[in-house]
Amino acid sequence: MTPVFGGGLEKYSQLVKADPPAAIAAAPRHGVRITYLGTSAYLLESRDAVVLIDPYFSRQSLYRMAFRLKPVADETLVTSWLRDHPRIDAVLVTHGHVDHLFDVPEIMRATGAKLIASSTSVELVRSTGIPAGQTRAVRSGSTAIVRHAVIHVLPATHDRLFGGVPLDGAPKHLPPEKISDWVKGEPLAFIIEMGGKRIFMNSGGRDDKSLSYHSSPVDLAIVGVSSGEAIRAARSTIAQLHPRYILPSHQDYFFRPLRDGFAFMLRTNFPEMQRVAAEAPGQLILLDYFKPWTLR
């Protein structure tokens, strides 16, 4: 097992939400059941819709990511998870990096789910053989309806790593072969209205984009905080959203397999995120891998 470099959730157990096992046999009659799948991935289930965001089961090692080698699929984990979750109405993707988009084509083939993403992410997925009719390219200001879920698309940015945004150009090869071919494209944020709730989702960014009037208030704000820059941006985002609950995301050590459990990434700073959340009226929460919690 890979060492837990940044520590797990034990220290913050009082913040961790989860439904009792007996309550998760069927889709919730009220509200939205949220399951954290690691990195920036979430399954949202209501009585009328099932939405998957940024699925990333096939974790690539730090070595493979650093040298931008060919990504390797974790077919066993993907197949096992899909066996228990055969219905996915739509897959939302915030941007085209490998840790957000790589597993999407296989999930779409297995479930028939529709992709809602930027034009670049759609191009990457279509190049793998997914039919154009199974995808929809959106941009900031777009609205998509999937069954009884309404998805508002908002502007977003990507935080910087060592002064620059990773993989910010066009793909050099289609279909993508190496990790470097899974390029960022146009980052997006979403507000998902389903099950009578409003959920905001971004994967982290910079404090240079204001949100539209559609954004406030929300029941849950899922904010990516994988860097100090993203944590600073979260302060402004939360102030605009007025959420009931605040869920920091993309702060786990996503270079190790999901089966090894949650561990904080070293360069994330959860205590600082706690200070940011303390300034807001919403309640700070955490979710563990594969342990659903229902937002009511």
Residue 11: predicted pLDDT: 94
- The verdict on whether omega for the bond into residue 175 sits within 30 degrees of 0, i.e. cis, is yes
Residue 112: predicted pLDDT: 98
Q: Does residue 169 carry a pLDDT above 90?
A: no
Residue 212: predicted pLDDT: 62
Confirm or reject CATH 3.40.640.10 for domain 32-295, answering yes or no: no
- The arithmetic mean of pLDDT across residues 57-73, rounded, is 97
For the four alpha carbons of 260, 266, 272 and 273, in that order, the dihedral sign comes to negative
Which residue has better confidence, 281 or 39? Answer: 39
Q: Does residue 226 carry a pLDDT above 80?
A: yes
Q: Does residue 15 carry a pLDDT above 70?
A: yes
CA distance 151 to 146: 8
What length does the chain have?
A: 296
Burial class from Cβ neighbours inside 10 Å (0-12, 13-18, 19+) for residue 160 reads: middle
Q: Does residue 215 carry a pLDDT above 90?
A: no
According to the per-residue pLDDT averaged within each range, which of 14-23, 128-137, 213-222 is highest?
A: 128-137
Burial class from Cβ neighbours inside 10 Å (0-12, 13-18, 19+) for residue 7 reads: middle
Q: Does residue 131 carry a pLDDT above 80?
A: yes
Residue 3: predicted pLDDT: 45
CA distance 86 to 64: 30
State percent of the chain over pLDDT 90. Answer: 84
Residue 233: predicted pLDDT: 92
* pLDDT confidence bin for 166, thresholds 50/70/90: confident
Counting Cα atoms < 13 Å in the Cβ hemisphere of 200 gives: 32
Sheet holding 220-224, edge to edge: 143-146, 149-155, 188-194, 197-201, 220-224, 245-249, 283-284
* pLDDT confidence bin for 216, thresholds 50/70/90: confident
State percent of the chain over pLDDT 70. Answer: 94
Residue 2: predicted pLDDT: 43
Residue 1: predicted pLDDT: 41
> Which tens digits make up the pLDDT trace of 85-117?
999 999 999 999 999 999 999 999 999 999 999
Counting Cα atoms < 13 Å in the Cβ hemisphere of 8 gives: 11
> Which tens digits make up the pLDDT trace of 186-197?
999 999 999 999
Residue 210: predicted pLDDT: 65
Q: Does residue 35 carry a pLDDT above 50?
A: yes
> Which tens digits make up the pLDDT trace of 233-273?
999 999 999 999 999 999 999 999 999 999 999 888 999 99
- The arithmetic mean of pLDDT across residues 279-296, rounded, is 96
* pLDDT confidence bin for 286, thresholds 50/70/90: very high
Residue 6: predicted pLDDT: 63
The number of beta carbons lying within 10 Å of the beta carbon of residue 104 is 26
